[in-house]
Structure 1
Amino acid sequence: MKYAAAGAFALCATTTAAFAGTTAQPGETAGLAMGAPLPEGVYFVNTLDWGVRKLPGEDIKVGVDIPVIAWSTPWSFLGTNLQLLVATPMIHADVPGGVNDDYGFYNPFTAAKLAFDLGGGFGVSYLSGIYWNAGDKFIRVRATTWRQDFAVSYTGDGWNLTANLLWGITFDTDKRVGGKTSNGFNLDLTATKTFGKWEIGAVGFGSTEYDRVKGDRKTESFAVGPLVGYNFGPVILQAYLTREVYAKNTTGNGGPRSDRKDTRFWSRIIIPLWTPATPAAPLVTKY
């Protein structure tokens, strides 16, 4: 199994304003070769992150855990690899004053993805999926979001050079939140190199909103940081630490308190549950 392709489906989300109208968490696909085809099989991926945005005398803390099941099917469409994905994000939000100081299920996500091998280590992909208007009422985005990913990757010679643009369009917004939610873009970037079983490099990601409610200020941010990974064969682990270098209106609608920067630690585990080369064991064994 190619490492660069194996993790190309981790998904996650969170509640803070900096995550824009994609509903997806900026940085959720950082470190992954999203443009590369995924070998046939069924995979489990768990992405966990915890971040702190410091304010004078108080902190905003958000933790996200994303269990994912991905099936890279044997089917193809016009020469592309077809993948089916489902994710059930969970979030813990600790906000000063007890607002949204809760743990619960975020909007569940289902998607299909097409990835095409261009040759020479290059690949491109398109993902289309839905964040459903369901989950914990204090945690979820109270809207249905159509998410589209457009990714390109180079995975030759042990490199993973990837850019993934996420576009979120919200609709079916809960009237209790004003009948409208913003749309937005995320851009996740990866530049890593493998040395034997080790992977070392850097990631970056940003987000922006558009089509905001009148009088609401657009949220923008960009973060960078180092990444390290290890391939235990077949289990793969990754970790990266990111810090926002730019933040605007991430904690409110203006003023110095609105531009406080987030520091976040991420970890990811990728486990192949089944591949054609590793058939599942029988449920009953005779002795």
Structure 2
Amino acid sequence: MKARFRRTVAALGALVLSFTGTAAHAASAAQPGQTLGLPTGAQLPIGLILLDTSSFGIRDTSPVQSESNINLPGVVWVPGVHIFGGRLHLIYIQPVVAARSAAAGGRYQSGIGVPLVAAQLAWKLSGNFNVSYLLGGYLPIDTQFLINQGSIQQRFAATYNGDGWNVTGNLLYGTYLDATNKQGAFYPDFLNLDVTATKKFGKWEIGPVAFGSTDLPTNRLNYRHQGQVAVGGLVGYNFGDFFIQAYVTRDVIERNYGGYDTRGWLRSVFFLYKQAEPGAPMGGLLARNQP
């Protein structure tokens, strides 16, 4: 009984480390892979957008696997304002997470994560090439289950969206405002890279996706940096004002996570309202910018 209890605690600890960090481990405040499938470099249609990205993953930690469900509901407001020639997007995301060890009797623990508040500027350049820059922050929150530290978030994205393609690279760079929390957990700066290459066939969309994440170097001795690379495939369907995407990813490289993660993702995006731009039919605008 004691041995089984120790295995359960060890497995759940390995899982929570992947979200919370300790003196030996840390994690990205932004879930790696969360922007796959989205044309994050492109200008969005003027309006109000509701979205949710949900994922369920199993990490084959030893001696028992661990499970996690991560939900990222949010809202994007595009007021039609331009700054320095870039279209303004205002973004709010509130993570909700549940996780457990798969050992006998393992129960889910759940909690809310640090919310993201951000502003993004997106520029349409020559042809179908687009770039964007996001600046925002994850607000600190009083929770013992997830990362509770505040951090600055910068994202640099480029998107090609011609001929039905969505070829996007989104680089996420995070800096924690306080590198050490009250429990002694240490949080280094981090980098995530989400890469999408999908093609539309009528209302359908299909293509490969991949992401990577890594802690950045620190001056702490014996610090065990976390990192991973995952690959997968995406399929989506566009209903017009509402579209869905589903994708599956699998780690091919992992460092100090305790095992490889296999994760299924489901995203829904709903245009609560939208406004046509002067001289641009809404149908053509959506066709260019929706995933």
Deviation at 1:153, TM superposition (A): 0.5
Match of 2:7 in 1: none
Match of 1:114 in 2: 121
Residue deviations 1:24-56 (CA, integer Å, cap 9, x gap): 011011111110011100000010000001134
**Structure 2 CA distance, aligned partners of 1:50 and 1:271?**
21
Match of 1:8 in 2: none
Aligned residues: 254
SS in 1 for 2:246: strand
1:29 aligns with 2:35: yes
**Structure 2 CA distance, aligned partners of 1:241 and 1:16?**
24
TM-score by length of 1: 0.83
**Structure 2 CA distance, aligned partners of 1:38 and 1:91?**
28
1:116 and 1:172, CA in 2 relative to 1: closer, same or farther beyond 3 A? same
Report the residue type matching 1:261 in the other structure: Y
**Structure 2 CA distance, aligned partners of 1:266 and 1:178?**
32
Does the Cα contact within 8 Å between 1:21 and 1:170 map onto a contact in 2? no
**Structure 2 CA distance, aligned partners of 1:22 and 1:104?**
17
Match of 1:104 in 2: 111
Q: Which runs of 5+ in 2 are unaligned?
A: 1-17, 277-291
Equivalent of residue 247 in structure 1, options 254, 269, 273 = 254
Report the residue type matching 1:267 in the other structure: L
Equivalent of residue 202 in structure 2, options 181, 191, 196 = 196
Match of 1:66 in 2: 72
**Structure 1 CA distance, aligned partners of 2:271 and 2:221?**
47
SS in 1 for 2:225: coil
1:130 aligns with 2:137: yes
Match of 1:43 in 2: 49
1:265 aligns with 2:245: no
Does the Cα contact within 8 Å between 2:208 and 2:233 map onto a contact in 1? yes
**Structure 2 CA distance, aligned partners of 1:132 and 1:245?**
32
Q: Which runs of 5+ in 1 are unaligned?
A: 1-13, 252-259, 278-287
* Match runs of 1:170-185 below 5 Å: 170-173=176-179, 175-178=181-184, 180-185=186-191
1:217 aligns with 2:217: no
Report the residue type matching 1:243 in the other structure: R
Deviation at 1:90, TM superposition (A): 0.2
Equivalent of residue 149 in structure 1, options 122, 145, 155 = 155
Report the residue type matching 2:247 in the other structure: Y
Residue deviations 1:141-177 (CA, integer Å, cap 9, x gap): 1311111000001000000101110001001356423
**Structure 2 CA distance, aligned partners of 1:147 and 1:249?**
23
1:161 aligns with 2:161: no
Deviation at 1:73, TM superposition (A): 1.5
**Structure 2 CA distance, aligned partners of 1:40 and 1:276?**
5
Does the Cα contact within 8 Å between 1:21 and 1:169 map onto a contact in 2? no
Residue deviations 1:114-143 (CA, integer Å, cap 9, x gap): 0000031100000011111115x1322131
How much is the aligned-residue C-alpha RMSD, in angstroms? Answer: 2.1
1:179 and 1:241, CA in 2 relative to 1: closer, same or farther beyond 3 A? closer
Does the Cα contact within 8 Å between 1:128 and 1:148 map onto a contact in 2? yes
**Structure 2 CA distance, aligned partners of 1:202 and 1:96?**
30
1:274 aligns with 2:278: no
Does the Cα contact within 8 Å between 1:34 and 1:164 map onto a contact in 2? yes
1:221 and 1:27, CA in 2 relative to 1: closer, same or farther beyond 3 A? same
**Structure 2 CA distance, aligned partners of 1:112 and 1:134?**
20
Does the Cα contact within 8 Å between 2:42 and 2:124 map onto a contact in 1? yes
SS in 2 for 1:176: coil
SS in 2 for 1:55: coil
Does the Cα contact within 8 Å between 1:48 and 1:266 map onto a contact in 2? yes
